[in-house]
Amino acid sequence: MKDCILLLGHGSPKKDANQLDQVAGILHRLIHPGCAETCVRVAYMEFAAPKIPDAIKQAVGDGAKKVILHPFFLTAGQHVTKDIPEMIDEARAAYPGVQFIYTEPLGIHEKLAHIALERISAADPLAPAAIEKRSFDILSAEADLGKIPADRLPIVQRVIHATADFDFKDTLTFHPDAVAAGLAAIKAGRDILTDVEMVRTGINKKWMHPWGGKVICAIQNTGAQGRESNEQVPEGKTRAELGIEKAFKENPNIGIVVIGNAPTALLKTIELLNSELRTRNSELLVVGVPVGFVKAVESKALLAEQQFPFITALGRKGGTPAAVAIVNALLKVAGGIG
């Protein structure tokens, strides 16, 4: 390991509040899809382990020649401007052969405002519709969506809303029958299969409940104990890939496959739908938007060439938020939810 990223948190006496490792896992998948090393780690000021000096020592001991320290703090208070820099100065003196880079805190950023908007919407049962409408009004004012077909517009809007990334208006690509196939699958009570638990969790079960289908993920039931969805297991396949394969073999009621993380799972889905499963699942919709630099671009380009219904986002961008947004948009349309 040449480089190591440390996410720095304050730490809390309440143990279940120290969950920065989940953020580290997401960041690791974004930066190094398929990587089995612990390139992104966490450290805390107090109350939780490892402490910042201990995490630095461990990273250097594991061979890191560059340590990037990111204070996962909203503002540049005393910890960010004084306490942590002092620890880094001590580390520079102790490890002269290692490069230490200290970043800005989270600070003020447009995407944080979108997160705040989501939290406000979730907290007030009377406000979400009005807040969301206002968000979509702002979105439409900033981007020309007039040329997007009416059936695809809710999906494009929700993906941009979820990601604060207007590039999706140009990169989202639809099979002509994609929206119709997705709505038909939902209304027929077909199940939705996801590549990873994070995607499964984000799909709105309340909106899906009236139709009777389930949202499933088989990654935990593959018998493979790899740490990451893209990590290879002894069979030479990733856990997400094995999960997709297992679900297809065992569940004849799959109507939508949603890939938001693992390109290998998307490639496996395409392979299966061009095999003996093609006839049985001819109207199945594949939502394939894995993010990253390794196989993500290629897998989505291959999906865009298929004859079965699909929705994808060409290029490197995508991920769980985009995948979840696409499915939730279809659920809203199916349920006539304004």
Note whether 225 and 157 are same-domain residues: yes
| Sheet of strand 285-288: strand arrangement | 172-174, 310-313, 285-288, 254-259, 191-194, 215-216
Note whether 160 and 230 are same-domain residues: yes
Total domain count for the chain?
3
**Cβ-based neighbour number of residue 311 at 10 Å:** 30
Active site residue 79: no
Note whether 92 and 118 are same-domain residues: no
pTM of the model: 0.61
Note whether 91 and 163 are same-domain residues: no
3-state secondary structure (DSSP) of residue 175? coil
Q: Which domain holds residue 224?
A: 151-335
Note whether 14 and 34 are same-domain residues: yes
Note whether 287 and 330 are same-domain residues: yes
**Rounded CA gap, 30 and 34, in Å?**
10
**Could you read off the pLDDT tens digit of each residue along the chain, which spans 338 residues?**
679 999 999 999 988 888 899 899 888 888 887 788 889 999 999 999 999 999 999 999 999 999 999 999 998 899 999 999 999 999 999 999 999 999 999 988 777 877 777 777 666 655 556 666 666 666 766 777 888 999 999 999 999 988 888 899 999 999 999 999 999 999 999 999 999 888 999 999 999 999 999 999 988 654 444 444 555 454 567 888 888 989 998 999 999 999 999 899 999 999 999 886 554 555 799 999 998 777 889 999 999 999 999 999 999 899 999 999 999 999 999 988 76
CATH of the domain at 89: 3.40.50.1400
Side chain identity at 180, as an amino acid letter?
A
**Catalytic-role residue among 28, 32, 161, 175:** 161
**Closest by CA position to 192, among listed 208, 175, 210:** 208
3-state secondary structure (DSSP) of residue 332? helix
**Closest by CA position to 206, among listed 323, 115, 337, 320:** 337
**Rounded CA gap, 171 and 318, in Å?**
10
